[in-house]
Amino acid sequence: MHSEMSILSLVLNASAVVQIVMLGLLLASLIAWTMIIQKWKLLKKAKDEANLFERRFWSGADLVDLYKALSQRKDAQGMASIFEAGFREYAKLHKQPGMDGDAVLEGSQRAMRVTLNREVDRVESGLAFLATVGSTSPYVGLFGTVWGIMNAFIALGQVEQATMAMVAPGIAEALIATAMGLFAAIPAVIAYNRFSYGVERLEARYDGFMEEFSNLLNRQVRT
């Protein structure tokens, strides 16, 4: 308890610049943790929805019935959204007289590619902020540390007899800024790496499904 109160007093008695740095790092850490929780939930939901749709798609269900069911929901996301966009374009082009089979497939693939890119953008939104927090927070904390130590030595030079007790609080409060910088950066870096890997795997699944669905449509066009 005494240690906690001492740290609190050091923060409260720090210079204005160091306090601003600490406040900025604290806000960045809080926002980063909020985004980490939201992103974890979003990716988990996207994976669960992809698993559910794949089981339904490969269970032998009629594609027309599946498309109608998704169209009525109006909230299809992820793999279901890619299927809906591709099948909608396929059905529209296939009904047009004189349309070449390759043109029908290319139109369907373009529609799925656009939707895939949109879905990837949706799940990876916010990762840039985590990367920024992870890469800049240590330097911001270091700036607060340098500023605090500089003030401590300036104050030390204004007295005739210097003691460790006089310079220790200034150095301690400066080092707290570095600790807060690391506290904000380390979770952000870990989360960014983990979520980036998760987005890449999810994108690979979407792309693989798009290719498999394109092959299925190709066989239907040829027959």
Euclidean distance between CA atoms 173 and 16, whole angstroms: 12
What is the predicted pLDDT for the residue at 94? 80
Per-residue pLDDT 10s for the chain (223 aa) are: 444 446 666 677 777 888 888 899 999 999 999 999 999 999 999 999 999 999 988 887 788 888 888 888 777 788 999 999 999 998 888 887 777 778 888 899 999 999 999 999 999 988 999 999 999 999 998 888 888 888 777 766 666 665 656 666 667 777 888 888 999 999 999 999 999 999 999 999 999 999 999 888 888 777 6
Q: Quickly tell me which residue has 């373009």 as its tokens.
A: 110
What is the model's pTM? Answer: 0.81
Euclidean distance between CA atoms 219 and 217, whole angstroms: 5
Euclidean distance between CA atoms 92 and 84, whole angstroms: 12
Which one-letter amino acid corresponds to residue 18? V
158's tokens: 């204004």
Which one-letter amino acid corresponds to residue 124? E
The domain locations on the chain are 2-222
Euclidean distance between CA atoms 134 and 53, whole angstroms: 35
> How far is the first Cα of the chain from the last one, in angstroms, to the nearest whole number?
78
126 phi and psi angles, rounded to 5 deg? 95, -15
Euclidean distance between CA atoms 215 and 213, whole angstroms: 5
What is the predicted pLDDT for the residue at 161? 61
What is the predicted pLDDT for the residue at 207? 93
Q: In sequence order, what DSSP letters do the residues of the chain get, joined into one string?
A: -HHHHHHHHHHHTS-HHHHHHHHHHHHHHHHHHHHHHHHHHHHHHHHHHHHHHHHHHTTT--HHHHHHHHHHHS---THHHHHHHHHHHHHHHHHSTT--HHHHHHHHHHHHHHHHHHHHHHHHTTHHHHHHHHHHHHHHHHHHHHHHHHHHHHHHTTSSS--HHHHHHHHHHHHHHHHHHHHHHHHHHHHHHHHHHHHHHHHHHHHHHHHHHHHHHHHHHH-
